[in-house]
Structure 1
């Protein structure tokens, strides 16, 4: 039973036809989808590459002015590093040379010479405040060319890009030649060069030299996931990503002063020439998904209309048939395929044949039930006739012993008659209500039929639970109860000091599938001669025989004031094909 249930559950958990079809179609479309996605991905890569190449070219062209300014400042500083050793001893001459350099190039705002002791020996403008150089010792006093950005008080508070070149004499570091370019002019040049490109000049260490908007937010145009020093190490390259403001941008990085200054340009991704637009690109990327959804939807609608709805209709017919409806002659499907119509026709033919068989079987069953009831009725009448004849014989017999024996036989015959009377009147023949059957037998045999032999009044109490048994078990159980009850009446003594004799009979389900019967009667321990009549022991032997027929177990308990008989037997089930009901 459990294996059948588990198999049914496995079948119910299988995917339906629509899901299986969706899976098969998905496998069929998968190669086309992968090819389409791959081609779209390559197209996107190509577009990104072209957009990056265009940005790199635009960036290099846009920083041409800044490159020229920085290169001019570096060349001038390098020239001054050679010239200064010849004029530094005369401050007026040195100042005049530096002032002429600044005057001749409008991109410069300051030029000077700082010795190795961090002293400003000469400069282009003696009116400037030259204090505060100690804070710039690391940037200024370096034995190699360098660039740095600072805002100095002696340069009228302006931010500048400063270029330094070491001054060497006979291999000895004597100081640096210093040229300053105002950042405001450099930033303006970047802004004018390419309005649609955000430009940033930076050093390999990651310091920003100039931007179009050199404010506190100047780093918002930088990539959010890459550092400037890392980009400088890679040299010339392009990539796509998000800036620190959260906008998607194309980035291009290129050196403008070898190993000293780099430029980074960025703009929104561009679509040029015959390249696909962003909308078309998205459509191409998701085209396989659209095809899959449409194919699944069309397949589902088709399968549902051609197959599933007809199968569900057939299933509803089967459920109605399982519930008892058998007339499907007029049941029709709504324009089904020919194959499904064959199935429906086969179902209608099957139900018609099974219905005819059920009708014949019901007629045979009714006829069988009527005959069986008639048999029980005739047997009951014959047994009652025999009991009446025996009663006549009892009255005609003067021998007390013979009367007693005849009455015992009569009691057994009446017990059998009670069984057949119950079976004749019962609505259900496959199972017998043991409590009702035993109640009739006890009332007839104990409460009425045998009290006159006991010579005293007996209180009979019963506790019979509603228990169903098979007819095969009803005969030995009824006869056993009759014998036990008659024996209890015969041996039920009473003490004059007590309220009276009593008999308790109980029937209940001791455990699942096991029935228990108990017959307990009062007794009086004999003193001297026994007061109980001697018997042949036939009743006890019959009880043991009936217990064996029930496949049960018999236990008896004798005490001073009571006698107990306990029987337990397994409950039998009706055989396949027995009658269930007689409505």
Structure 2
């Protein structure tokens, strides 16, 4: 089988190579310009982030004071509340006075270690052991700041500051001061109009914003959680917020690493999108210069070289497709070097056309001579056949007539081959099916054996295949010899007609199979060797022809029929192999 043609490797054109060379030449200048621009952008971004950090710090100062004062008040109460424990009246009065003196407090109270609210600014006692949402914070010996809407405060959202109370290092409970969320929201309003402010705790819960609505999380960064931000108390970064806008963010700590402020605004330097004049010139100058250089180079190269090369390529393709009228083809205002190439191409086409004409004449002459050779060989073989026919008529012995007839049949088989080659349109390959059909028709005339007059039904089945002329001779002689033997030994079963089946079929691996099958009488005692005197000449000829075909011979001698099968590889001429 023929191998697939190799893939054509991609080769860049002249314009692509020129663009690559110019790009390498301009690259150092472009890198310097880009580096300087990036430095400017980096400095501006650093200034923007520093400004945002300071504004966030200042805007959150009021909130820091509110939460810090609550923590200080709770710490002061933690020092004095143990003295009032177990005494009705004074503890509630102290808590009430703390709330009345500060408009930012809505509740103050003391919760003991058994989660009992024993002292409040409202003068009530309550069991908080069933309040799961704040149990952990109330039992922890650490200061806690958490935003929780407590039910015993009436339900409003508040920031609860819880400071532990100790008596001789023993945990006694916690002082709780509640700051309403509205107070913290007011502390953020109007502080920095360009900055979106958010107060959050280290656990990731939002405490307060300027606009404490359901959309308050839209100003948070998209890919970074509040817990991650709390791990770095003071830093800046740029990221897309949850509303899909690019923002600069700044994080500052407000209270002891537990409460943080997050500020964000639109980047003050949008140089990569809407650059200023100086930045645009520094950033886009390499690109403009590269595009200009590539454009000028492409126009020049296309005008001077590429269009003429494409025209030469089209000439070559037309010539390869069979066009020979390119003598007057000319380039349009091409450089001298390309005109020389075009003239060389035209001279080459003239020489090739002359060589093709001479080769065609030689081929026609050789074809005529070869056909004449086949014609004369065919005539000579027919002459020999005629002489043998005269000898057959003059012979007195039936055995001599039979032997001469067998030799005459072999001569006629050779004559049929040369007759086919003389009339064939193509001499490089021979249609085996047509050749065999012609030979069989000569051997068996209308299905009747001329010597005995016995009627024989002859059927043929030939696939349309081509073989090499060198294979056609042994194949034809093999078919003729096998057919003559089949005609001679085709016996008749009582009540049936004698028959012969001759087939040529394609098989696997580009092989052919010639089959000759004939009927025979069960009790027949014919000589299986194929010649009357028992010399076995027919068998030896068949084996010789099979050897010439490099094939294998299979014979099945059955009671009612005789089968001969020859399988041989098909040989292709050298021209056909090269084409594949």
| Deviation readout 1:382-419 (Å, 9 max, x if unpaired) | 44344444545555566666655655555444444433
**Given that residues 199 and 212 in structure 1 are in contact (C-alpha distance below 8 angstroms), is that contact kept between their aligned partners in structure 2?**
yes
Q: Which residue of 1 aligns with 2:124?
A: 131
* Cα distance change on mapping 1:34 and 1:535 into 2, 3 Å: same
- Take 2:565 and 2:173, find their aligned partners in 1: how far apart are those partners? 125
* Cα distance change on mapping 1:293 and 1:533 into 2, 3 Å: same
Q: Which residue of 2 aligns with 1:124?
A: none
Aligned-residue offset at 1:154: 12
2:47 paired with 1:53: no
* Cα distance change on mapping 1:40 and 1:498 into 2, 3 Å: same
Aligned-residue offset at 1:424: 2.4
Aligned-residue offset at 1:198: 3.8
**Given that residues 486 and 500 in structure 2 are in contact (C-alpha distance below 8 angstroms), is that contact kept between their aligned partners in structure 1?**
no
Q: Which residue of 1 aligns with 2:6?
A: 9
Aligned-residue offset at 1:366: 1.3
2:422 to 424, 428, 435: 424
Q: Which residue of 2 aligns with 1:371?
A: 369
2:460 paired with 1:463: yes
Count matched residues. Answer: 556
* Cα distance change on mapping 1:285 and 1:382 into 2, 3 Å: same
2:275 paired with 1:280: yes
Aligned-residue offset at 1:51: 1.4
* Cα distance change on mapping 1:565 and 1:208 into 2, 3 Å: closer
| Deviation readout 1:243-297 (Å, 9 max, x if unpaired) | 55554433344456777876544333324xxx84851189787887888888878
The residue matched to 2:458 in structure 1 has which SS?
strand
**Given that residues 113 and 175 in structure 1 are in contact (C-alpha distance below 8 angstroms), is that contact kept between their aligned partners in structure 2?**
no
2:356 to 321, 340, 358: 358
- Alpha-carbon RMSD across the aligned residues, in angstroms, is 6.0
2:500 to 497, 501, 504: 504
Equivalent runs, 1:90-489 vs 2, <5 Å: 129-131=122-124, 187-188=185-186, 190-200=188-198, 211-213=209-211, 221=219, 223=221, 234-243=232-241, 247-254=245-252, 263-271=261-269, 276=271, 278-280=273-275, 317-332=315-330, 344-392=342-390, 395=393, 407=405, 409-447=407-445, 451-452=449-450, 454-459=451-456, 461-465=458-462, 466-486=464-484
* Cα distance change on mapping 1:59 and 1:469 into 2, 3 Å: closer
Aligned-residue offset at 1:368: 1.6
In the superposition, the TM-score normalised over structure 1's length comes to 0.67
- Take 1:399 and 1:473, find their aligned partners in 2: how far apart are those partners? 36
Unpaired runs of 5+ residues, structure 1, are 122-127
Which has the larger displacement, 375-384 or 12-21? 12-21
**Bigger radius of gyration, 1 or 2?**
1
Aligned-residue offset at 1:356: 1.7
| Deviation readout 1:165-196 (Å, 9 max, x if unpaired) | 99999999999999998876665454344333
In the superposition, the TM-score normalised over structure 2's length comes to 0.68
- Take 1:144 and 1:489, find their aligned partners in 2: how far apart are those partners? 119
The residue matched to 1:374 in structure 2 has which SS?
helix
| Deviation readout 1:127-163 (Å, 9 max, x if unpaired) | x843367769999999999978899999999988898
- Take 1:45 and 1:18, find their aligned partners in 2: how far apart are those partners? 40
* Cα distance change on mapping 1:521 and 1:318 into 2, 3 Å: farther
- Take 1:113 and 1:64, find their aligned partners in 2: how far apart are those partners? 26
Unpaired runs of 5+ residues, structure 2, are 129-133
**Given that residues 233 and 257 in structure 2 are in contact (C-alpha distance below 8 angstroms), is that contact kept between their aligned partners in structure 1?**
no
